[in-house]
C-alpha cells in the first residue's frame, strides 16, 4: 500500500493530550501520472490541524510528491490534530494520494478526555520594587501553550501601573495578544508608579481552551518615596492608641529620651569638673606695665664702652703690669709681720743660757700677743664707690 501512517486504524479521545494529537503520513508512488495529485489530508468539522509545512491552523493540507534517487515519488509530513472547544467529538480524518488511494481514520469519542489542555505559566504572582521615580521595574513571565498558533490574550486591570509587551510587539500597552508558532513564549511586564506606596493588580491570560490569572504587586520605594511618606505621616493627625501597653511603652521611651538629654546637659555643664583637661587655657597671658622704669647699669662706670674698639699697646701693658706689682708690694709692707726665718736664725745663733731662754720666752709671749692683736685688727671695709689702688691700676686705660 503506497499510503503509510504511523497511527492505528482509528483515533480515540484518549489519544489527545492537551487537546493535540500528532502523527506522520507518507505516500510512495512508482509512476507519477501527468494529472497527478498531491497527498492530501482532510479533517472533518470540529477539528483543525497544523503540519510540518505550516503552522497556520487549517482543515486541509497537501503534501507534494518529490522524486527520489531511486526514481520513486515520495510525499511525507507531520500532522498535529486538535479539536475546537472543550471536548472532542466524533469525526473523520481522510488521506488521499495521486493513485486515488484513500485512507479514512475515524475519530471516535467513547469516553471523555481525562486530561484537558491547559496553559502553563512560570509564576502565579509577580512582585515589583521601584527604587526611583524615573526608573520603572521589569519582570518576565513565561507562558507554555499546548496548541501553537492559538491566540493568547493578556489584559491587566491596573494599566496605570502595569503594562505588557512581547518580543513580537516590543512596545508596552494595557493589553496584548500573542499568536506564537512556538509552544513557549515570553511576556514582558513593566511596573511604573508616579505615586509612592503599594499598588496591586491582576493579569488575565485567556485562550479558546483555557484561562489563567497572575497576581501583580508593586511597591515604590527610594529616598523620595520615604521622604514623601514621612511628610504625609507627619501632616496627618495621630490617633491615640487604645492599647494601654502601647501607651506605656511610649511613656517609657519618652522618659528614657528625657533622661539621656538631662545627662548630656549635666555633663556639658560640669565638664571642667569631670574632665579638667578640656578646660585648660592654652592662650598665652601678657602682663601690661603702665610706667616701666628705665634700666640703669650699676657697672657702667667701671666697664669700658662697647662702642669703642680697644687697641693693644705692648709698652702700655708692660708699664701697667709694673704698676700692679708695685701696688701689691706696698700693700704687703702695710701689714707688719715678723719674718719667721730671721727669728729662727737668731735663736740658733744664741747660746742656750738662762738669760737667752728668758728672752726667748718673752719673745714667744710677745708673738702671741702680737698675733692676737693682728687677728683682732681687721681691715675696714671699703665702700662701693671707693676704689683701691689695684682696681685703679686695672681700670686704667691702655
| pLDDT for residue 264 | 84
Q: What is the secondary structure of 291-315 as a DSSP string?
A: SPPPP--TTTTTSPPTTSPP---HH
* Predicted confidence (pLDDT) per residue in 318-370, tens digit: 777 777 788 777 776 665 555 444 444 444 444 455 555 556 566 766 666 55
| pLDDT for residue 235 | 43
Burial of 254 (0-12, 13-18, 19+ CB in 10 A): exposed
Asked whether 5 and 100 are in contact (CB, 8 A), the reply is: no
Joined grid coordinates for residue 302 = 667701671
Q: Looking at per-residue confidence, does 34 or 86 come out higher?
A: 86
Q: Are 3-108 and 120-223 in the same CATH fold?
A: yes
Q: Is the pLDDT of residue 165 over 90?
A: yes
| pLDDT for residue 111 | 46
Can you give 220-255 as a three-state secondary structure string?
ECCHHHHHHHHHHHHHCCCCCCCCHHHHHHHHHHHH
Give the residue extent of every domain in the chain.
3-108, 120-223, 316-335+388-398
Average pLDDT of span 100-117: 66
Q: Is the pLDDT of residue 50 over 70?
A: yes
* Predicted confidence (pLDDT) per residue in 264-282, tens digit: 888 888 777 777 777 765 5
Q: Is the pLDDT of residue 178 over 70?
A: yes
Average pLDDT of span 278-287: 59
Entry pTM: 0.33
| pLDDT for residue 15 | 76
What topology is assigned to 120-223 in CATH?
A: Immunoglobulin-like (2.60.40)
Q: Looking at per-residue confidence, does 185 or 4 come out higher?
A: 185
| pLDDT for residue 373 | 47
Pick from 220, 202, 96, 112: nearest CA to 158: 202
Q: How far is CA 94 from the centre of its chain?
A: 72
Q: Name the one residue in this structure whose C-alpha cell is 709681720.
A: 337
CATH: 1.10.8, 3.30.200, 2.60.40, 2.40.160. Which one for 3-108?
2.60.40
Asked whether 139 and 132 are in contact (CB, 8 A), the reply is: no
Q: Is the pLDDT of residue 45 over 80?
A: yes
The pLDDT mean for the chain works out to 73
Q: Is the pLDDT of residue 112 over 70?
A: no
Res. 187 pLDDT band, cuts 50 70 90:
very high
Pick from 377, 378, 379: nearest CA to 369: 377
The rounded percent of the chain whose pLDDT value lies above 90 is 17
Average pLDDT of span 104-122: 70
From the CA atom positions of the chain, what is the Rg in Å?
A: 67
Average pLDDT of span 195-213: 90
**Strand, coil or helix: what is 319?**
helix
**CA end-to-end span of the chain:** 159
C-alpha separations of 159 from 191, 192, 193, 215, 393 in Å: 9, 10, 11, 14, 124
| pLDDT for residue 306 | 47
Q: What's 279's DSSP letter? A: G
Can you give 12-39 as a three-state secondary structure string?
EHHHCECCEEEEEEEEEECCCCCCCCCE
d(CA 238, CA 236): 6
Asked whether 122 and 209 are in contact (CB, 8 A), the reply is: no
Average pLDDT of span 212-240: 62
- The partner residues of 169 in beta bridges, in order of sequence, read none
Amino acid at each position: 500500500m503506497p499510503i503509510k501512517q504511523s497511527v492505528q486504524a482509528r483515533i480515540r479521545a484518549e489519544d489527545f493530550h492537551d487537546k493535540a494529537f500528532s502523527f506522520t503520513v507518507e505516500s510512495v508512488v512508482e509512476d507519477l501520472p501527468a494529472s497527478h495529485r498531491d497527498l492530501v489530508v482532510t479533517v472533518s468539522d470540529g477539528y483543525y490541524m497544523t503540519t510540518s509545512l505550516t503552522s497556520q491552523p487549517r482543515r486541509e493540507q497537501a503534501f507534494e510528491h518529490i522524486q527520489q534517487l531511486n526514481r520513486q515519488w515520495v510525499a511525507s509530513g507531520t500532522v498535529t490534530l486538535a479539536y475546537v472547544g472543550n471536548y472532542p467529538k466524533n469525526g473523520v480524518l481522510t488521506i488521499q494520494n495521486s493513485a486515488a488511494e484513500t485512507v479514512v481514520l475515524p475519530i471516535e469519542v467513547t469516553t471523555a478526555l481525562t486530561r484537558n489542555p491547559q496553559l502553563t505559566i512560570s509564576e502565579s504572582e509577580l512582585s515589583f520594587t521601584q527604587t526611583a521615580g524615573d526608573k520603572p521595574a521589569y519582570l518576565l513571565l513565561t507562558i507554555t501553550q499546548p496548541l501553537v498558533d492559538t491566540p493568547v490574550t493578556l489584559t491587566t486591570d491596573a494599566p496605570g501601573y502595569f503594562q505588557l509587551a512581547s518580543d513580537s510587539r516590543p512596545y508596552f500597552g494595557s493589553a496584548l495578544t500573542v499568536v506564537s508558532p512556538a509552544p513557549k513564549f515570553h511576556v514582558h511586564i513593566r511596573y511604573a508608579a508616579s505615586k509612592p506606596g503599594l499598588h496591586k493588580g491582576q493579569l488575565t491570560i485567556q485562550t479558546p481552551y483555557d484561562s489563567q490569572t497572575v497576581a501583580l504587586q508593586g511597591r515604590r520605594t527610594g529616598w523620595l518615596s520615604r521622604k514623601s511618606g514621612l511628610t504625609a505621616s507627619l501632616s496627618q493627625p495621630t490617633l491615640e492608641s487604645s492599647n494601654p501597653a502601647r501607651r506605656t511603652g511610649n511613656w517609657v521611651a519618652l522618659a528614657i529620651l528625657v533622661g539621656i538629654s538631662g545627662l548630656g546637659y549635666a555633663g556639658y555643664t560640669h565638664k571642667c569638673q569631670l574632665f579638667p583637661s578640656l578646660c585648660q587655657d592654652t592662650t598665652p597671658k601678657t602682663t601690661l606695665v603702665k610706667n616701666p622704669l628705665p634700666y640703669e647699669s650699676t657697672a657702667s662706670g667701671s666697664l669700658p664702652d662697647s662702642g669703642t674698639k680697644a687697641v693693644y699697646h705692648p709698652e702700655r701693658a708692660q708699664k701697667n703690669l709694673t704698676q700692679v706689682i708695685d701696688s701689691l708690694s706696698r700693700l704687703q709692707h702695710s701689714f707688719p709681720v715678723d719674718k719667721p726665718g730671721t727669728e729662727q736664725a737668731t735663736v740658733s745663733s744664741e747660746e742656750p743660757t738662762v738669760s737667752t731662754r728668758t728672752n726667748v720666752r718673752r719673745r714667744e709671749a710677745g708673738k702671741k700677743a702680737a698675733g692676737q692683736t693682728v687677728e683682732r685688727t681687721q681691715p675696714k671695709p671699703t665702700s662701693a664707690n671707693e676704689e683701691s689702688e689695684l682696681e685703679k691700676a686695672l681700670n686704667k686705660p691702655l
